[in-house]
Amino acid sequence: MRPKTLVLVLALGVGILGCMIVLKAVLGVGPKPHSPVATPETNPAPSTVNTLGDAQITNIVATTPKEDQQTRINADLESLRDALTGEPGDPQSLLTITERLLSSDDEVRKAAVVTSMHLGDTNILPYLTAALSNIEDVREKAGILDAIDYFKLMMQGEEDATNTVEMTNSGPSAALSVGPTAGSNRPAGGK
């Protein structure tokens, strides 16, 4: 057979097959889908109906371990967001942050450090130092050390403010001291 004839026969066959498929779809000719036959096994009597319901059994969704881990991470991050609504000294917020500092996920630990700094509760300091021993990443350790320094400076600022108030309340002679005040690097002459 010649190549032109072969190509013509194949093209004609494909064209006829395509027309048959289009006509079948338009006219709806073909076998009808059968409905299942009711048997005692498939349609139990009303007294023996499955109490769990077929919908619960068939709607089981399988997730991968990675999806499960991401779900746990999102739940932990959400609980840290909720902890931000608390006030410094709130035991529930402190508990939430300390639990997340011990998380196995670095994203959750970093968020816990940032949340603790935003909350500004200095009671978190021992937990931050304890978290340092569980972390191997140098950058994450540096972030926690920065948070520890932040809280130490905050505590030092509170002590300085308390000392200044005590000096002011003790009388005019204490407020007019000649020497430098605590935490000041200026010379006694004021220059």
pLDDT at 8: 85
**The whole model's pTM is what?**
0.54
**For the range 106-114, what are the long-range contacts, defined as Cβ-Cβ under 8 Å and sequence gap of 24 or more?**
106/137, 106/140, 107/73, 107/77, 108/73, 108/76, 108/77, 108/80, 109/135, 109/140, 110/140, 110/143, 111/76, 111/77, 111/80, 112/80, 113/143, 113/144, 113/147
Round to whole Å and give the CA distance between 149 and 5. Answer: 87
Better pLDDT: 84 or 186:
84
pLDDT at 191: 44
Of 153, 163, 104, 159, give the one whose Cα is nearest residue 125. 153
Better pLDDT: 170 or 28:
28
